Amino acid sequence: MTGKIINIDPEVLGGTPVFSGTRVPVKNLFDYLEAGKSIDVFVEDFDTVQKEQVLQLLALTNKLLLTNTQILDENFA
């Protein structure tokens, strides 16, 4: 899968970031992970989200954290 990972549209859940092509908020994934649930459980519960989308989002998040040390310095100093 290629293309947009996240969609932010005021007409979809008031602009809440969602997985592209769905109405599933990205925050739901992080809530699942924080609760100790697996990616597989997440995609089973939200069947409109593809596992590849989740993996791409996590890779993007990792890249953002690695390349934006200022974010880390501001939030964990």
pLDDT at 2 over 60: no
* Of 75 and 31, the one with more pLDDT: 31
The rounded radius of gyration (Å) of the Cα atoms in the chain is 13
pLDDT at 58 over 80: yes
**DSSP per-residue codes, 2-56:** -S-SEE--TTSGGG--EETTS--BHHHHHHHHHTT--HHHHHHHSTTS-HHHHHH
Ordered by start, the domain boundaries in the chain are: 6-76
CATH number for the segment(s) 6-76: 1.10.10.10
**Interval 13-37: pLDDT, tens:** 889 999 999 999 999 999 999 999 9
